[in-house]
Amino acid sequence: MKVFVFGGGGDVGEYVLKKLAAENHEAITIAETENRAEELKMIGAADVCVTKDYDFVDAISGCEAIIYIAGANPTAGENRNVLVDKEAVARAMEEARTQGIERVVYLSPARVDESAESQDTGGKKIPEELIKLDVFTYTVVYSSRGVHKPGKGTIDVITSPRKKVMEIPYEDVAAVLVESLTNKATYNKTLKVVPGNTPIENAFKSV
């Protein structure tokens, strides 16, 4: 599958590019410099659009799906005014409609253990509401706080946090996003993902 990755240069994004390549998907992303584009190709991107003004229109042509990593910022959290660029998401979804792309996997900038008040701060939930109202077959993923640790390939999908949740490796968050692309159990679902002991594919059977 040819997949356009928004946020391919971030902490989760690099693992997404690597995972897509390992599973024989064709990952396309964007970078601001030629040097960074070469780095992302070495990680796993099949092609990288170099742009400083977020012009991705030509690069997204022919893609079958989008993975959008919104504000995957390790400092996002309670009462922090971390804003996701709502206009950028809206522009990406508008172009996806124009290109006939139906599949969208969206990583929310809000965490699973973040209060509703904090999630509303900065309008973090507005982009996913836009995606859900549109024509897409979506999967929205919330995760606990990401960290740079080796992934385990195991998670739990929860309905609500009963206690403060543990940190999750970026690599496992990326694996969730890539597995969601083709796993129909995740279609039109919102997943709350935390560290656990269940292999990712098996964890999706209960959603």
The answer to whether position 173 is within a domain reads yes
Residue 177 lies in a domain: yes
**Cα separations (Å) of 156 from 105, 185, 197?**
18, 15, 7
Indicate if the pLDDT at residue 35 is higher than 90: yes
Question: Residues 192, 142: contact at Cβ < 8 Å?
Answer: yes
- Give domain status of residue 24, yes or no: yes
Quick: pLDDT tens for 170-191. Answer: 999 999 999 999 999 999 999 9
What is the extent of the structural domain holding 178?
2-202
Give the angle subtended at the CA of 26 by the CAs of 21 and 27, to the nearest 5°: 80
Q: For residue 163, tell me if it sits in a domain.
A: yes
| Tokens, residue 144 | 């606990």
- Position 84 scores a pLDDT of 57
Nearest Cα neighbor of 75 from 145, 169, 171 is 145
DSSP string, 51-62: -SS---HHHHTT
Mean pLDDT across 118-147: 84
Structural domain tally of the chain?
Answer: 1
With tokens 């109202």, the residue in question is: 133
> Is 72 among the domain residues?
yes
- pLDDT, tens digit, 9 for 90 and up, residues 52-93: 777 888 889 899 999 999 864 433 434 444 445 677 788 888
Cβ-contact 91, 126 below 8 angstroms: no
- Count other Cβ atoms within 10 Å, centred on residue 176: 27
In a domain, 48, yes or no: yes
> For the domain that residue 21 is a member of, what is the CATH number?
3.40.50.720
Residue 207: inside a domain = no
Separation of alpha carbons 144 and 12, rounded Å: 13
